[in-house]
């Protein structure tokens, strides 16, 4: 009787019951990886489709995260939540509108400045053509190569890139409106986090770490970028390089672009210095830029930011390429915050995925295990 009951229980339980676990017939790791990559591609295509909305939204979110401690400090000083939020909003709006106005004026000056050097550009083309001909390149190939160079195209490219970074026009209005609403809603962030923590503690911790990392990265980058912009502007004024104000603003913007921002910011002033004052002036600009950016952005910034980002150089460069392709120039500026957001949601909030943090660049916990 007991034997019959045991056999009946085994038949009801089915294979794998009791001490021997049933084989896992779910989705395998390979298929999960393929499905994850396919989902990532779909999300990336969707983000690119709505980049004009997503980019300004992320920019407004980053600005709101950076100014949150100021609003909290004002509340601790005795100001009401609404009044503290209003003060922060007014300051942000004044700064953004003033920066955008300066950007518009500088770009307008550049569009009228560059055509003044048409003769110098033509002479430079002739010298390049003679040099290529001396190397044995045929006249037709030289003419085809130089014929594709259009100075007016340079003006349009610089104006378009600089203007599109902060989304002048409708994008700027969207950013300003989102900053107002996000700053007002940020006052309830601590209440939401406190109520969400019992159910999702890992998610709350990941989001707290994300906001702290983004705030430190953006504030330090902005302050050091402003110092670089001012020093570059003064140096260009001393060297009598045309458009010094625009190149100072460009140096500030490109300071947020990892890896290649320095090279984007140095090319236009070097070209203008060469056209206006000759090779010696252009070399002086290169040397001064190398010293200023080398000391501040390559020496001070990595040391100050430290472990706030915890992304290695490969991941940083790939994030720059990816977000630039998805969101355009604004994606290049916001590449690090966007990557930190993805890491917070997919890695930090998931205990099973935290093993990948050292692969991404967080090697702080491995330093003691590395053999010397």
Q: What is the 3-state secondary structure (H, E, C) of 4-51?
A: HHHHHHHHHHCCCCCCCCCCCCCCCHHHHHHHHHHHHHHHHHHHHHCH
Planar angle of CA 275, 277, 279, nearest 5 degrees? 80
The pLDDT-based confidence of 11 (bands split at 50, 70, 90) is: very low
- Burial level of 323, CB count in 10 A (0-12/13-18/19+)? buried
- 300-343: pLDDT as tens digits: 776 666 666 788 888 888 898 999 899 888 888 889 999 999 99
Question: How far, in Å, CA of 44 to CA of 48, rounded?
Answer: 6
The pLDDT-based confidence of 360 (bands split at 50, 70, 90) is: confident
pLDDT at 1 over 80: no
pLDDT at 353 over 90: no
Of 56-70, 111-125, 160-174, 300-314, the range with the lowest mean pLDDT is 160-174
pLDDT of 25 reads 53
Backbone CA torsion sign across 270, 334, 362, 317 = negative
* Residue 188 DSSP one-character state: G
pLDDT of 48 reads 87
Question: How far, in Å, CA of 32 to CA of 371, rounded?
Answer: 35
Mean pLDDT of 281-290: 90
pLDDT at 215 over 80: yes
Question: How far, in Å, CA of 251 to CA of 222, rounded?
Answer: 11
Give which of 293, 282, 285, 218 is closest to 251, Cα–Cα.
293
Question: How far, in Å, CA of 183 to CA of 369, rounded?
Answer: 44
For the chain, the distance separating the N- and C-terminal CA atoms, rounded to the nearest angstrom, is: 68
pLDDT of 339 reads 92
Mean pLDDT of 280-292: 89
Of 59-73, 128-142, 188-202, 278-292, the range with the lowest mean pLDDT is 128-142
pLDDT of 171 reads 66
The pLDDT-based confidence of 15 (bands split at 50, 70, 90) is: very low
pLDDT, the chain, mean: 77
How many other C-beta atoms lie within 10 A of the C-beta of residue 296? 16
pLDDT at 368 over 50: no
Backbone CA torsion sign across 52, 55, 59, 64 = positive
How many other C-beta atoms lie within 10 A of the C-beta of residue 232? 26
Distance of alpha carbon 368 from the chain centroid: 31
- 181-195: pLDDT as tens digits: 888 887 777 788 888
How many residues belong to the chain? 372
Question: How far, in Å, CA of 175 to CA of 290, rounded?
Answer: 34
Question: How far, in Å, CA of 107 to CA of 358, rounded?
Answer: 43
The pTM score is 0.76
Question: Which runs of consecutive H residues, i.e. helices, occur in the chain?
Answer: 2-13, 29-49, 51-76, 81-113, 118-134, 139-147, 151-165, 170-185, 189-196, 201-238, 244-254, 261-277, 279-295, 301-305, 313-327, 329-333, 335-343, 357-360
- Give the residue with greater pLDDT, 149 vs 309: 309
The pLDDT > 90 percentage for the chain reads 6
- 158-182: pLDDT as tens digits: 555 555 555 545 567 788 888 888 8
What are the tokens at 205? 């911790």
């Amino acid at each position: 009787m007991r034997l019959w009951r045991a056999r009946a229980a085994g038949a009801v339980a089915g294979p794998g019951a009791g001490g021997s676990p049933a084989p896992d017939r779910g989705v395998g790791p390979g298929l999960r990886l393929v499905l994850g990559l396919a989902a990532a591609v779909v999300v990336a295509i969707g983000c690119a489709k709505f980049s004009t909305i997503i980019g300004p939204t992320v920019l407004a979110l980053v600005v709101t995260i950076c100014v949150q401690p100021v609003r909290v400090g004002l509340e601790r000083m005795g100001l009401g939540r609404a009044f503290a939020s209003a003060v922060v909003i007014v300051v942000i709006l004044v700064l953004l509108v003033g920066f955008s106005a300066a950007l518009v004026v500088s770009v307008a000056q550049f569009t009228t400045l560059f055509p003044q050097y048409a003769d110098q550009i033509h002479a430079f083309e002739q010298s390049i053509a003679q040099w290529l001909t001396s190397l044995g390149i045929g006249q037709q190939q030289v003419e085809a190569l130089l014929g594709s160079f259009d100075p007016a195209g340079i003006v349009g490219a610089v104006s378009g890139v600089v203007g599109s970074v902060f989304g002048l026009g409708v994008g700027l209005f969207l950013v300003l409106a989102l900053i107002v609403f996000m700053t007002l809603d940020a006052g309830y962030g601590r209440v939401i986090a406190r109520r969400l923590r019992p159910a999702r503690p890992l998610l709350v911790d990941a989001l707290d770490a994300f906001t702290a990392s983004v705030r430190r990265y953006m504030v330090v980058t902005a302050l050091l970028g402003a110092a670089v912009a001012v020093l570059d502007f003064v140096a260009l004024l001393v060297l009598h390089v045309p458009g010094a104000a625009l190149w100072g603003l460009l140096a500030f913007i490109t300071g947020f672009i990892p890896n290649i921002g320095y090279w984007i910011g140095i090319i236009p002033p070097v070209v203008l210095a060469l056209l206006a004052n000759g090779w010696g002036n252009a070399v002086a600009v290169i040397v001064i830029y190398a010293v200023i950016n080398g000391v501040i952005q390559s020496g001070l910034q990595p040391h100050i930011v430290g472990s706030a980002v915890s992304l290695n150089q490969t991941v940083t460069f790939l994030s720059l390429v990816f977000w630039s392709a998805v969101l355009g120039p604004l994606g290049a500026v916001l590449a690090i915050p966007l990557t930190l957001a993805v890491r917070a949601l997919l890695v930090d909030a998931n205990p099973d995925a935290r093993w990948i943090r050292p692969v991404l660049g967080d090697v702080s916990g491995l330093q003691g295990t590395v053999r010397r």
